[in-house]
Amino acid sequence: MAVAKSSFKKNKQKSVVLPYFYLLPAFLVMGVITFYPLIYQVIISFTNFESKHLLLGLQSPELEFIGLKNYLDIFTAALPVENFNFFRVLEFNFWWALSNVILHVPAGVLIATLLNTEGLWFKKLYRAAYILPVVVPPLVVATVWTNIFDERYGAMNQLLTSIGTYLGNTAPVYIRWFEDVKPPIPGFLPGAPLTLAYYAMMIANFWLGWPFMSVVATGALQSIPKDLYEAASIDGATGAQQFWGITVPLLRPAMIPAAVYGFTLSFNLFNFVFFMTGGGPARSTELLVTFAYNLVRNLRWYGVAAAFAVIIFGVALVVFLITNRITRATQNYQEA
Amino acid sequence: MAVQNQTQKNIFIRFLNINTSGQTGGRNLPLWRQLLLQLLAIVILVSVMFPIMYIVTLSFSSSEKRPSQLQLIPKEISFIAYERVLDKPTGNPVTFIELLRNSFVLSMGVGVVALGIAVTAAYAFSRFKFKMREVMMILVFIPLLMPAVGLSTPLYLLLNQVQVKQCKDKTTAIQPFTTCEDGSKGKLKFNLRDSLLGVGIAMTASALPFAVWNLKGYLDTIPRELEEAAAIDGADSNQTFWQIVIPLAIPQLAVTFFLGFIGHWQEFVLTWLFLSQPKDYTLAMTLYNMTGQYANSVPWNRFAAMAVIVALPVAIVYVALQKNIVGGLTTGSVKG
């Protein structure tokens, strides 16, 4: 996302207005569908908005402005909801997005590199098969993996049982992936203990996540000029030196925006998490968005949900601004 | 090039770095390395295909029950699930063809409109320098930060206000712009919230960030000289945009459109929240409808057949367009 340098000096007077003209359609649409609802959310976040106010909206006579109460209730865990602690959810949400990207990006790059090997047999077949996870609807992915991790019928426990039998342990493995609240690795993430459900979700989302990164990395690999490698090998650079000295730096401009995009997507990965664990057990895998959905659909606390949506927006905006800075910083690095 | 590999000592390092350059010719790839890489590729292939085969196998089963054993290769080929899904996809009076049409119209409409809006915005961001440029770019990314789930309440209220009613005196009133003269409530003819059009409008906003990002990256790579030449020939900015930039961007427009299309094709959260009439249901909604609260109540073979039907068209197009997608996703970030 390089900053464009306008070269239309001749049209300077015109281009004062023209860019806004080109942006008009986008901002008209977003004004109605994004900004207006966002402002509306901010307003009702200061009220006790409930189901009964839905008909008249802000014109409801008995709608009360209650100041920051909704926000304070969320931050101080004063909501009458079991097992809810905002800061734990927030910490988990960050860790969830981060740990996904940390796994998906290197895996995507390594697999793309593998498939870029010249002379590899069946390359086309592998390339075609490896992108299939991208097109399977998230709902189906979540359903399949929920089945795989099912305690009684699931493939994962069956697999572990057969491995156990092979090692001389005859007792069937019976891991309750989605119910066990005891973290398998105690103290791994202080403040937001990671339950088995988290690890199950990581495995499933790994399956879903790396192919996209691999697609991006493949495109970037193919655009690296081959003479660079020739020149390097003439200078006596080994394969390892070439990988770290040429491939990695030249992949960076493509992979960092992809990683930022992946982080934002994982951060708000509603569909997948909602269907796989629904935030359980004991809200240990709840994301901010799944909890917000819960507040609206099941509890129908629109005011609290609005405050929650505003908080999510604030958090996401901060993350976006920081990552945006990082992305740009890398491009300067490349140009330098 | 083969020489460079022999200088390496450590097998592990060799293994990780084979041919990141893509330089070694096929004849030069040693057999042992070919076999090793094939083994690795096959392991990845199996892990990718595992959940997919699980669903495909289920879809060919004649039993609606939840599978108690892991099966990855169909034991029986029964089309009963497909027949039932095509014949009567839901308990509601809606045919498969109607579901397909709704899904197609919705995804197509949102894709085309979002693309049209995004390309002009991307052009403005790519080619012009103007006040508030940075701020406006961040604003365009807001829908990515604020998922539609978080804005669903105000969106619902907003769209619900637009209703067409048939008044008692046979005139038509379009709320909120006109009301029935006799003050009667009238008979509801059309509710924007409860229509594909309304949901489509709501979905357009969330399609914008990715489209703008992807197109801007590509437009940055189109050489400015072309436009400057056109400007010297007397073309104004609008003419250059329509006659030079758009034709050059067609491949990227197609890729962006298709990637958006996949997302809309699978969307069911907003459709599920807003649409209430079976005649407006989409394929993705039907799929969601089949997954009940409890795993044992899901008609497994029909769910699987539906999953295959929903995923197959996009999978075929994705694999067919693979090269363009791989190139399209990275052009902006790498070559720019």
Q: Do A254 and B330 touch (CB under 8 A)?
A: yes
Residue A331 region, left (φ>0) first, then alpha (ψ -120 to 50), else beta?
Answer: alpha
Question: What tens digit of pLDDT does each residue of B41-61 get?
Answer: 999 999 899 888 888 888 888
Residues of B in contact with A1 (CB under 8 A): 213, 216-217, 332-333
A10 confidence band (pLDDT: 50, 70, 90): very low
Instruction: Give chain B positions within 8 Å (CB) of A57.
Output: 157
Closest by Cβ to A54, choosing from B44, B55, B157? B157
- Number of structural domains (chain A) is 1
Q: Is a pLDDT exceeding 60 seen at residue A83?
A: yes
B146 or B282: which carries more pLDDT confidence?
B282
The residue with tokens 């009220």 is A47
Is residue A172 in a domain?
yes
Residue A145 lies in a domain: yes
Residue A256 lies in a domain: yes
Q: What is the pLDDT of residue B284?
A: 87
Distance from CA of B170 to the nearest CA of A (A): 26
Does residue A28 sit within a domain? Answer: no
User: Within 10 A of A73 (CB to CB), how many other CB atoms are there?
Assistant: 19
Say if A82 falls within a structural domain: no
| Predicted pLDDT at B103 | 92
Q: What is the mean pLDDT of chain A?
A: 82
Instruction: Note the pLDDT of residue A14.
Output: 55
Best of B28, B326, B331 to disrupt the A interface by mutation (most A CBs within 10 Å)? B326
Residues 6+ away with beta carbon under 8 Å from B241: A22, B120, B123
One-character DSSP codes across B208-260: HHHHHHHHHHHHTTS-HHHHHHHHHTT--HHHHIIIIIHHHHHHHHHHHHHHH
Share of chain A above pLDDT 90, in %: 11
In B, minimum Cα distance to A309 occurs at B150
The token duo for B298 is: 């899901």
Q: Which CATH class is domain B82-155+194-335?
A: mainly alpha
- In terms of phi and psi (left: phi > 0; alpha: psi -120 to 50; beta: otherwise), the region of A283 is left
Is A232 a member of any domain?
Answer: yes
| Antiparallel, parallel or unpaired: β B187-191 and B172-175 | unpaired
Shortest Cα distance from B98 to chain A (angstroms)?
20
The C-alpha of A336 sits at a distance from chain B's nearest C-alpha, in angstroms, of 14
Of A247-251, B62-66, B219-223, give the range with the top mean pLDDT.
Answer: A247-251
pLDDT at A172 exceeding the cut of 60: yes
- The Cα B21–Cα A232 span in angstroms is 10
Residue A103 confidence class, pLDDT cut points 50, 70, 90: very high
Ranges of beta strands (E only) in chain B are: 163-166, 172-175, 187-191
Q: Is the pLDDT of residue B169 over 90?
A: no
Q: Once rounded to an integer, what is the mean pLDDT over residues A209-235? A: 85
Looking up tokens 């490349």 gives A334
* Residue A196 to residue A201: CA distance in whole angstroms: 9
Judged by CB atoms closer than 8 Å, whether chains meet at B288 and A153 is answered as no
The answer to the question of residue A74 being in a domain is no
Residues in A touching B6 (Cβ below 8 Å): none
Helix (H, G, I), strand (E, B) or coil at B195: coil
Tens digits of per-residue pLDDT, A40-58? Answer: 889 989 988 887 777 777 7
Q: Are A129 and B49 in contact (CB under 8 A)?
A: yes
CA–CA separation, B312 and A253 (whole Å): 33
Structural domain boundaries enclosing A177: 88-305
pLDDT at A145: 87
Q: Give the number of A-B residue pairs with CB atoms closer than 8 Å.
A: 353
Residues A120, B37: contact at Cβ < 8 Å? yes
* pLDDT tier, A237 (very low <50, low <70, confident <90, very high otherwise): confident
Per-residue pLDDT, A64: 80
B19 neighbors A116 (Cβ within 8 angstroms): yes
Which of A12, A27, A30, A145 to probe the B interface (max B CBs under 10 A)? A30
| Mean predicted confidence (pLDDT) in A112-122 | 85
B238-277 pLDDT per residue, tens:
888 888 888 888 888 888 888 888 888 888 888 888 888 8
Local structure of B67: helix, strand or coil: coil
* Residue A11 scores a pLDDT above 60: no
Pick from B322, B328, B329: CB nearest A127: B322
In this prediction, residues B4-28 reach a mean pLDDT of 44
Residue B105 has pLDDT above 90, yes or no: yes
Of A72-81, A101-110, B297-306, where does the model show the most confidence? A101-110
A19 neighbourhood in chain B, CB within 8 Å:
124, 127-128, 130, 133
Among A130-139, A169-178, A196-205, the range with the most confident prediction by mean pLDDT is A196-205
Could you give the 3-state DSSP secondary structure of residue B131?
A: coil
**A1: nearest CA in chain B?**
B217
| pLDDT tops 70 at residue B177 | yes
Confidence at residue B4, expressed as pLDDT on a 0 to 100 scale? 41
DSSP single-letter state for residue B200: H
B51-76: average pLDDT: 79
pLDDT in tens, B287-324: 888 876 555 667 888 888 988 988 888 888 888 887 77
Give the pLDDT score at A202: 92
Tell me what the mean pLDDT of segment B212-234 comes to.
82
Range with the largest mean pLDDT of A33-37, B11-15, B63-67: A33-37
| Residue A328 banded pLDDT, cuts 50, 70, 90 | low
| Residue linked to tokens 């089949």 | B290
Report residue A54 CA to chain centroid gap.
32
Give the model's pLDDT for residue A137: 82
- Is the separation of the CB atoms in B123 and A6 below 8 Å? no
Nearest to A219 among B142, B149, B330 (CB): B330
Choose from B65, B149, B193, B267 for mutation: most chain A CBs within 10 A: B149
- Residue limits of CATH 1.10.3720.10 in chain B: 82-155+194-335
CATH of the domain at A101: 1.10.3720.10
Average pLDDT value for residue range B9-36 = 56
pLDDT of the residue at A138: 82
